[in-house]
Amino acid sequence: MDITRRRILKGSTLAAAAVAAPHLWLPTSREAWGATLKKGEPIKVGLLFSLTGQLAVPEEDSTLVMQYAIEEINKNGGIAGHEIKPIIIDAKSDFNVYSEKAKELILREKVIALFGCYTSASRKAILPIVMQQNNLLYYPTCYEGAECTQNTICTGPLANQHSKDLIPFMVKNFGKKCFFVGSNYVWPKESNKNAKLWLQNAGGELLGEEYIPLGSSEFGPVLNKIRDAKPNFIFSTVVGASDIAFHKQFKQEGFKVDSMPIASLTTGEIETKAMGADVGAGHFLSAPYFQTLENATNATFVENFLKSKYGKNGSTHYNMEETYLSAYVFKYGLEKALKKTGNIEEVTSRMIRDVSGGIRVEDDVSPEGLIWIDGDNFNTWLKPKIGQCQPDGSFKTVYQAAEHVAPDPYSIYPNSGKCTADGLVAPDGKARKNVI
């Protein structure tokens, strides 16, 4: 495992602490290590999301939509006649729990893959065990990139697939002066490094940059700084319950959305529902999916999901849809691996990952339209979109890329090299595996 200097600088000490936590479960000498698939038995996968705590707002829906997708797949014959069996864990918005439960899922439950996490801090907490055991993580949300592992498949957008479009859009439509606000962990900080470059390229000006502890609901001091700075718009990478508090206090403090809108990478339909449509109205989100997308597949997805027992929260949103897609990427990857081996008992987690490059989820399955997995970095080709929140809490698409955009995890770090299927290849030709 190549743990690079950047990983330390990016603030993953929380992840390291989680891995080293003394209460982590370890297998006894009688218990087998690693994932297994058996003929005639269900295919076990782990769902590792937070159902409680400050990350539950987006992550509960990820758990619900994964159950919906698995049920949908099972009703249509499963995978080669095998049902998928989800092992559901509440990570409780605690990085120690993510790490501990990832170990249990892989070593004791013997899941063939994990689906989970919403923050990069939680992802980095579980990656060491995923890589050590050569298991497979499907990470179904946006993230900062600057990572190249051989055990992950990501179905959300990278920075070059959302903020690269969002920042110049805001500059063009609202003005050059911008203020950054984010939660205090690796994803917002690294995302803002990308956003600074896009802002500079658009001729914009950064007036301030503030970070709030993850889970915090106190934005008074930050809003005072924003009031003094008088930006044309705010670029937000605030997540979870904090995101809801930020928007509410923005409105309570008398800020006007028409003269100073918030442009976000995370504030979708579920967050808007939690804060109130009147609070979210007028603000912007960059994402590959909105519930209002007009196509037959999305109409069917929205209708069937919301009337199912899993649609209890009353909306679909980008993070749910990316999670839904990950279930089908897994299905197609396992089917492809089975064609290669002819025997389900010979299929491994790593084999599924290695054959997943180029897998497509077509228009008739994907609510956002065709997507496919990059064969080098195992992120997703997709069409970036920008939506504006409407008075009813829905999002109106105000921009869509004309073509699919390739995922580029090192878009602002070209000297780091190229992420390939076998590792990060530096300009001098040297390759390193599992760079996080």
**Residues 404-428, mean pLDDT to the nearest whole number:** 94
Q: What is the pTM of this model?
A: 0.91
pLDDT tens, residue by residue, 40-86: 999 999 999 999 998 998 899 999 999 999 999 999 999 999 999 99
Q: Could you tell me the pLDDT band of residue 36, with boundaries at 50, 70 and 90?
A: confident
pLDDT (0 to 100) of residue 6: 36
Q: What is the mean pLDDT of residues 415-435?
A: 92
Mean pLDDT score across all residues of the chain: 91
**Looking at residue 35, what is its pLDDT?**
74
Both tokens assigned to 338: 């089975």
pLDDT average, residue stretch 410-435? 92
pLDDT of residue 34: 53
Residue range 259-293, pLDDT digits in tens? 999 999 999 999 999 999 999 999 999 999 999 99
Query: So what's the pLDDT on residue 39?
Result: 92
Q: Residue 429 pLDDT > 60, yes or no?
A: yes
pLDDT of 23 reads 42
> What integer is the mean pLDDT of 240-259?
95
Q: Provide the pLDDT for residue 332.
A: 98
If you average pLDDT over residues 119-147, what whole number do you get? 95
- pLDDT, average across residues 399-423: 95
pLDDT score at 9: 35
Going by pLDDT thresholds of 50, 70 and 90, the confidence category of residue 215 is confident
Region 150-159: mean pLDDT is 96
Determine the average pLDDT of the residues in 2-21.
38
Give pLDDT tens digits for 189-205.
999 999 999 999 999 99
Q: Which of 221-230, 325-334, 407-416 has the weakest average pLDDT? A: 407-416
> What's the pLDDT tens digit per position in 291-335?
999 999 999 999 999 999 999 999 999 999 999 999 999 999 999
Ordered structural domains, the chain, with CATH = 5-157+297-382+408-432 (3.40.50.2300), 160-287 (3.40.50.2300)
Give the mean pLDDT of 325-354. 96
